[in-house]
């Protein structure tokens, strides 16, 4: 996963687009749709990273018993 300082999150994107256009509802809706897609991708990346870290921790845990 990329460094959080370099990557624009869905919330950052949404606020950047809507900051000056909050009155315009059409523009707000146009900004929401890609923000939601980015948010969903961020959730999937976090799930994959969590599963990967959990798997690695489980392997380390079971390896400590096999090495005895």
19-60: pLDDT as tens digits: 766 667 677 778 788 888 888 998 999 999 999 999 999 899
Identify the pLDDT of residue 21: 67
Residue burial 27-60, b: 16+ Cβ < 10 Å; e: rest: eeeebeeebeebbeeeeeeeeeeeeeeeeeeeee
- Say how far residue 22 (Cα) sits from the centre of its chain: 24
pLDDT surpassing 80 at residue 63: yes
Identify the pLDDT of residue 2: 47
Identify the pLDDT of residue 15: 76
- Say how far residue 14 (Cα) sits from the centre of its chain: 14
pLDDT surpassing 60 at residue 62: yes
Please, which residues have CB within 8 angstroms of residue 1's CB and are 6 or more apart in sequence? 45, 49
């Amino acid at each position: 996963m990329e460094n959080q300082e370099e990557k624009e999150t869905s919330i950052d994107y949404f606020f950047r687009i809507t900051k000056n256009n909050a009155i315009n509802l059409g523009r707000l809706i146009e900004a929401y749709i890609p923000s939601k897609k980015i948010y969903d991708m961020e959730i999937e990346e976090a799930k994959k990273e969590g599963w990967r870290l959990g798997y690695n921790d489980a392997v380390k845990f079971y390896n400590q018993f096999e090495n005895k």
